[in-house]
Amino acid sequence: MNKTINSTGIAEIRDFLAARSNDPALYDSQRALNAWADEAEESLDAGNGAHIELRGVHSVSGCPETFSVSDAGIDNHDEP
């Protein structure tokens, strides 16, 4: 089964980054958000949850921050 991040998941990622990032360029374009969604999909492909990690240098806290996309933000597709 192939899993992808849907528009709900992208909105969740944007909200997380808007709250935790000190650099708006990381989430202020669809291209940037798609790159984060790709990272979450790579995590899924590796058998993990749909996780992303914000590096400490880019976080408000100065520490790495992780986020997991909810089940509502993931679409499941049957592979042919």
Average pLDDT over residues 52-59: 97
Whether 80 has a pLDDT exceeding 90, the answer reads no
pTM of the model: 0.93
Whether 79 has a pLDDT exceeding 70, the answer reads no
Q: Round the average pLDDT of the chain to a whole number and report it.
A: 95
Q: Mind listing the pLDDT tens digit for each residue in 4-26?
A: 999 999 999 999 999 999 999 99
CA distances to 34, 43, 79, 80 from 68, rounded to whole Å, are 15, 10, 24, 27
Q: Kindly state the tokens that stand for 6.
A: 């849907």
For residue 78, name the pLDDT band (cuts at 50, 70, 90): confident
